Structure 1
Amino acid sequence: SMMEKLGILVAFAVFLESVSAASLGVVSTEGGMVEGQSIRLGFNRRMDVFRGIPFADVPGRFEKPKPHPGWDGVMKTKEYKSRCTQVNMLMNDVRGSEDCLYLNIWVPHGKSVSFELPTMIWIFGGGFLAGGSMGANFMDNYLYSGQEVADRGNVIVVTLAYRVGTLGFLSTGESDLPGNYGLWDQQAAIAWVHRNIRSFGGDPDNITLFGESAGGASVNFQILTPHNKGMIRRAISQSGVAACPWAINKNPRSFAEEIALKVGCPTDQNMAACLKMTDPMKLTMAGALDLSSSADHPVLNNLLLSPVIDGDFLPDDPSNLFSNAAEVDYIAGVNDMDGHVFTGLDIPSINSPLLETPIVDVKRLLASYTKEGPTALDYAYSTYTAEWGSNPSWETIKKTVVAIGTDYIFLVPTQVTLYLHASSATTGRTYSYLFSEPNRMGGIARPYPSWMGADHADDLQYMFGKPFSSPLGYWPRHRDVSGYMIAYWTNFAHTGDPNIGESGVPVAWPKFTSYGHEFLEINSKMDRNYVGQRMRIRYVHFWASVLPNLANAISK
């Protein structure tokens, strides 16, 4: 009969689906069994997603993370866990939980279950003050969903959480409260992945870290610390390295005393003990970022809850630790207007087409960055205005402000870092990029000037494939640049060479060498003309060598 035939067809379809449906099902980890969610991506392709796997126990306040005690039965890992305790966007309230050390895993499968895939571990940014493993959520579309990267690049994607703000980075500079708790959390997650990823189809000997902003600096710290020896094969730092002026607090004690005063603790030998007993919400609010800033007091100088040289995680200044990364393949780069979001807070007129930006503001910002008095300021000013002519346009002056911020806060430290890595590398390869896809808010709607390039964090939407997962919000060119970025990044995870892997790329990206300083400019229009050399070398030379020598001459 018709019904019988239909029944047989349905049964056959179910059978076919189950044959082609590769899924891990219940996975056994060191703490116990976990079960994620299996999603269908298309013909013969599925993905397992695990959200909220614990990689450490609930951490003690101002203590290193401890191993998770484990659980009985099967833990359902289908929901993101709460982010770590942190201030909200407006800096007027606290969100999150101290129970937050969880990670998320995306595993792609073809006809059969995946085996020995490269694993990419994402470390989020947020100034060491805020952020979560899943990223901002817009209509259930999480920014750091690893689905597109995992599917398009055939890699496992892991996103991790770590303590931020006061609870993650407060330090007295002494052994009673040494700091770097957030870095230890990241390290515990990396070690967990190294020990457990084989059960998920990953290759523990092919782990790539990637991260942006404070996450990019964290990636750099993780390859420099002796505590990760042999665990990390490759790494990518986007708009943030250990050498950035905001990445290390060289004098943590004074800020710890400020926090102590705010929460009513003494600043003597009892300070650490009192801080450990203080309400975590109060501690977190006390570490909120002061957003009031000006050209004389850039907002950058308020980022004081950062990693410290503690003699343990960081035994020395990062610039002396590059031998630890000698065998790590490394990509580092910046966005062409990374400094815009910061300089726009310090000098708001740069974003207004109706207001002139006074030249005195340019000088004030330079003075607050160079910090070495009139000689250094004159040298800096003549370096940045050499091509102005006698009557610079408003736009030229505004763009110069953004360039100064971009160079000082991100670009120059990144170039110095690439140079340090390339010159101390043995087998490790080095690659440099400049991301320049113009900001989508620039021009027509005009919350931003029409001359805007790529602002800080503009690369994230492309990195995580949003033009594919939310196609209505983007143009075809945005899908192009997103596809290029995912291809380079995941090829690099597979082979250590961004040009070679499972994805085709639009241009061959040359290695960065200590003599040629080659880099790739990434945007939707890229072709072979987008390979460059010696990125902004005059300005790198000024900040990295002229200014320090001037400072020495002045102090003598």
Structure 2
Amino acid sequence: MLWVLLLGVCLRLASAARLGVVQTEGGLVEGKSVKMSFLFRTVDVFKGVPFADVPGKWEKPKPHPGWSGVLKADTYRDRCLQVTLLQTKTQGSEDCLYLNIFVPQGLKLSQNLPVMVYLFGGAFLLGASNDVSFLGESLYDGKEMADRGDVIVVTVNYRVGTLGFLSSGDARLPGNYALWDQHAAISWVRRNIAAFGGNPDNITIFGQSAGAASVSFQMLSPHSKGLFRRAISQGGVALSPWALQRNPMALTKKIARKVGCWRNDEDQMIACLKMSDPVGLTMAGKIDVLLILGKGVVMDLLEFSPVIDGDFLPDEPSKLFHNAAHIDFMAGVNSMDGHIFAGVDVPSINQKNGNTTVEDVRGLLAGLTKEKGATAVGSAYSVYSSNWGSHPEPELVKKTVADIETDFLFLVPTQIALQLHANNTSGARTFSYLFTMETRIPGFPRWVEAEHAEDLQYLFGKPFSMPLVYFPRHRDLSKYMIAYWTNFARTGDPSKGESRVPAVWPAFTRNHRPYLNINHKISKSSISYDLRSGYVSYWTQTYSRLPSVQGGDKQI
């Protein structure tokens, strides 16, 4: 009995440390300490910490005025005002510039930890720092990643849709308000994270899809100098054809018509927009899915995105990589990142008995390559059908459709960004990956591999926090990803750090292009070279040299 009592006393004395109340520039904040699966391990969770004041409509974020007393940071705050996933109504608030902090603790208070700031995806139209609740837990809950990788994880809200990106293409409505929100959040982290046990000189920003492109824009902006040391883009870069709005005034006029602000005089139109109801403006930015039927491709519906504003983005993204010369960069795509879009553009690819025809493939290419006209369709078709033979298997044709969208929207722009980073680097390292874990989404054909955003569940440790809905192989993959990502945040090299990894991941350089194939069976043989190089060279060399036709504005 005495032995049991002594053990109980020792356990109580040896409980994990916790931060308690933390002093930030705005005031005192208090989070919650959450027990983790390892003995004497907890994570201090701070939810809903303000990093800026309620933003003015189409204005840059302003510093938060602060608060008195202790702010109970124990609930997620509203997402920024946006349309719902089904595009039928709005949700969220204009008071939305908050972030969440996950700090791992052992027996002693954590100090000088690497910091990882996450930017969510959602087509620049929707999303939140605590998005997609699954069995009561946010997809972006940072506890497992923080605990297993011994890093501080921060997740950030930013404006989206009309309120985040509307632009006139000049100083009247400059655009990029969402990028400024992200910049304000990263700046707040740099100024305040030491009080939470983080190292302000070792910040890594990472994101997926529109969040990955945002990471890329943050890297390339001259305003980010000295703000963070490393960056990870998962399924999107600033060079992605959907990531930049090249005709912002046309979109602004379209929104103005929808909310009753159309005027011949642009100044009057903009004045009217500035007085319009934010909810109406947000609904006016919803995707009109009916437009896709019979014409165009789904990419054409993704209209809200950053612009070259002469300020945050002073030039074409491809010309700004000198600004990222000192930032370690890791980027990659999921092997079927384009499948979800391909399934909208060519529905037959997901139908068991659906017949995907040559005309379907050529029609998709015509929609993607509008700026180059009919010549591009023929040349691209010959490249993608070259391994078909005279009687291609229906499954091969369907997979080719998914490959075309993956290459055009994600893989090729990412490879270009990696090459530009490696060419411009000044001591910083570059790493490339391809995520190939088979899909867990039921109902898709057997040939579908890693769908868009499927990497996130593993990176955020869902196989550990929700063990009943995963198998051991999923936990292996999750362990590998958390190790590589947090090692990279700690040292700039995903193979070196506190976490053991199953294979050394070599750096991508100017003349040497290795990549890591990420799935649950990583070994030395998971390192390959020159990812889809024939297709990359087609789009970057052959296609880019074709003359543009009038009215085209897509670039790759």
Query: Could you say which TM-score interval applies, normalised by the shorter chain?
Result: over 0.9
Deviation of 1:290 after TM superposition, in Å, equals: 2.1
1:404 is aligned to 404
In the alignment, the residues of structure 2 paired with residue 34 and residue 254 of structure 1 have an alpha-carbon distance, to the nearest angstrom, of 44
2:63 is aligned to 67
Q: How does 1:144-293 map to 2 (within 5 A)?
A: 144-267=140-263, 268-292=266-290, 293=292
Q: How does 1:22-37 map to 2 (within 5 A)?
A: 22-37=17-32
Opposite residue 377 of structure 2, the aligned amino acid is: L
Name which of structure 1's ranges 534-543 and 430-439 shifts more when overlaid on structure 2: 534-543
Opposite residue 387 of structure 2, the aligned amino acid is: E
Q: How does 1:339-354 map to 2 (within 5 A)?
A: 339-354=338-353
Deviation of 1:377 after TM superposition, in Å, equals: 1.4
| 2:261–2:273 CA contact under 8 A, matched in 1 | yes
| 2:335–2:449 CA contact under 8 A, matched in 1 | yes
1:38 is aligned to 33
TM-score (norm 1): 0.96
Opposite residue 193 of structure 1, the aligned amino acid is: V
Deviation of 1:262 after TM superposition, in Å, equals: 0.1
TM-score (norm 2): 0.96
| 1:295–1:364 CA contact under 8 A, matched in 2 | no
Opposite residue 376 of structure 2, the aligned amino acid is: A
Match of 1:115 among 101, 111, 118: 111
In the alignment, the residues of structure 1 paired with residue 48 and residue 358 of structure 2 have an alpha-carbon distance, to the nearest angstrom, of 51
1:414 is aligned to 414
Deviation of 1:272 after TM superposition, in Å, equals: 1.7
In the alignment, the residues of structure 2 paired with residue 15 and residue 506 of structure 1 have an alpha-carbon distance, to the nearest angstrom, of 36
Pair 1:370 & 2:369 matched: yes
Say which SS state the counterpart of residue 299 (structure 2) adopts.
Answer: helix
In the alignment, the residues of structure 2 paired with residue 345 and residue 62 of structure 1 have an alpha-carbon distance, to the nearest angstrom, of 32
Deviations 1:355-406 (A, max 9, x none): 1111101001111112222222111110000110000111011001000000
Opposite residue 438 of structure 1, the aligned amino acid is: E
Opposite residue 470 of structure 2, the aligned amino acid is: Y
In the alignment, the residues of structure 2 paired with residue 30 and residue 83 of structure 1 have an alpha-carbon distance, to the nearest angstrom, of 23
1:452 is aligned to 448
Name which of structure 1's ranges 285-294 and 88-97 shifts more when overlaid on structure 2: 285-294
| 1:370–1:547 CA contact under 8 A, matched in 2 | no
| 1:121–1:207 CA contact under 8 A, matched in 2 | yes
Deviations 1:1-21 (A, max 9, x none): x9xx79x948x8467525533
In the alignment, the residues of structure 1 paired with residue 467 and residue 43 of structure 2 have an alpha-carbon distance, to the nearest angstrom, of 20
Name which of structure 1's ranges 362-371 and 65-74 shifts more when overlaid on structure 2: 362-371
Deviations 1:287-344 (A, max 9, x none): 0012232574101111111000001110111111111110000000000010000010
In the alignment, the residues of structure 1 paired with residue 549 and residue 11 of structure 2 have an alpha-carbon distance, to the nearest angstrom, of 76
In the alignment, the residues of structure 2 paired with residue 85 and residue 554 of structure 1 have an alpha-carbon distance, to the nearest angstrom, of 36
| 1:84–1:162 CA contact under 8 A, matched in 2 | yes
1:300 is aligned to 299
Q: How does 1:62-141 map to 2 (within 5 A)?
A: 62-141=58-137
Deviation of 1:259 after TM superposition, in Å, equals: 0.2
Say which SS state the counterpart of residue 501 (structure 1) adopts.
Answer: coil
Deviations 1:461-514 (A, max 9, x none): 111111111111111111111111111000001100000011111111110112
Distance 1:133 1:324, change over 3 A: same
Say which SS state the counterpart of residue 494 (structure 2) adopts.
Answer: coil
Deviations 1:24-80 (A, max 9, x none): 110000000000001222322121100000000000111100000001111000000
2:437 is aligned to 437
Opposite residue 19 of structure 2, the aligned amino acid is: L
1:316 is aligned to 315
In the alignment, the residues of structure 2 paired with residue 357 and residue 20 of structure 1 have an alpha-carbon distance, to the nearest angstrom, of 61
Match of 1:21 among 13, 16, 28: 16
In the alignment, the residues of structure 1 paired with residue 350 and residue 182 of structure 2 have an alpha-carbon distance, to the nearest angstrom, of 36
1:540 is aligned to 536
Say which SS state the counterpart of residue 178 (structure 2) adopts.
Answer: helix
Deviation of 1:552 after TM superposition, in Å, equals: 6.3
Deviation of 1:553 after TM superposition, in Å, equals: 11
Distance 1:287 1:465, change over 3 A: same
Match of 2:470 among 461, 474, 486: 474
| 2:120–2:208 CA contact under 8 A, matched in 1 | yes
In the alignment, the residues of structure 2 paired with residue 153 and residue 477 of structure 1 have an alpha-carbon distance, to the nearest angstrom, of 19
| Number of equivalent positions | 546
In the alignment, the residues of structure 1 paired with residue 391 and residue 487 of structure 2 have an alpha-carbon distance, to the nearest angstrom, of 48
In the alignment, the residues of structure 1 paired with residue 75 and residue 365 of structure 2 have an alpha-carbon distance, to the nearest angstrom, of 47
1:360 is aligned to 359
Pair 1:388 & 2:383 matched: no
Opposite residue 336 of structure 1, the aligned amino acid is: S
In the alignment, the residues of structure 2 paired with residue 51 and residue 61 of structure 1 have an alpha-carbon distance, to the nearest angstrom, of 25
Name which of structure 1's ranges 73-82 and 369-378 shifts more when overlaid on structure 2: 369-378
Say which SS state the counterpart of residue 546 (structure 2) adopts.
Answer: helix
2:554 is aligned to none
Distance 1:295 1:360, change over 3 A: farther
In the alignment, the residues of structure 1 paired with residue 10 and residue 109 of structure 2 have an alpha-carbon distance, to the nearest angstrom, of 17
| 1:296–1:365 CA contact under 8 A, matched in 2 | no
Pair 1:57 & 2:56 matched: no
In the alignment, the residues of structure 2 paired with residue 198 and residue 272 of structure 1 have an alpha-carbon distance, to the nearest angstrom, of 42
Structure 2: unaligned runs, 5 residues or longer: 552-556
Name which of structure 1's ranges 134-143 and 84-93 shifts more when overlaid on structure 2: 134-143
Opposite residue 339 of structure 2, the aligned amino acid is: H
Opposite residue 241 of structure 2, the aligned amino acid is: P
Deviations 1:182-233 (A, max 9, x none): 1100000000000000000000000000000000000000111111100110
Deviation of 1:173 after TM superposition, in Å, equals: 0.8
Opposite residue 85 of structure 1, the aligned amino acid is: L
| 1:23–1:113 CA contact under 8 A, matched in 2 | yes
Pair 1:500 & 2:496 matched: yes
Distance 1:554 1:135, change over 3 A: closer
In the alignment, the residues of structure 1 paired with residue 206 and residue 545 of structure 2 have an alpha-carbon distance, to the nearest angstrom, of 34
Percent of aligned positions with the same letter in both sequences?
56
Pair 1:326 & 2:321 matched: no
In the alignment, the residues of structure 1 paired with residue 294 and residue 543 of structure 2 have an alpha-carbon distance, to the nearest angstrom, of 20
Structure 1: unaligned runs, 5 residues or longer: none
Deviation of 1:524 after TM superposition, in Å, equals: 0.8
Deviation of 1:176 after TM superposition, in Å, equals: 1.1
In the alignment, the residues of structure 1 paired with residue 293 and residue 346 of structure 2 have an alpha-carbon distance, to the nearest angstrom, of 6
Say which SS state the counterpart of residue 408 (structure 2) adopts.
Answer: helix
In the alignment, the residues of structure 1 paired with residue 505 and residue 295 of structure 2 have an alpha-carbon distance, to the nearest angstrom, of 40
Name which of structure 1's ranges 327-336 and 132-141 shifts more when overlaid on structure 2: 132-141
In the alignment, the residues of structure 2 paired with residue 509 and residue 143 of structure 1 have an alpha-carbon distance, to the nearest angstrom, of 27
In the alignment, the residues of structure 1 paired with residue 476 and residue 5 of structure 2 have an alpha-carbon distance, to the nearest angstrom, of 41
| 1:295–1:347 CA contact under 8 A, matched in 2 | no
Say which SS state the counterpart of residue 423 (structure 1) adopts.
Answer: helix
| 1:294–1:347 CA contact under 8 A, matched in 2 | no
Opposite residue 17 of structure 2, the aligned amino acid is: A
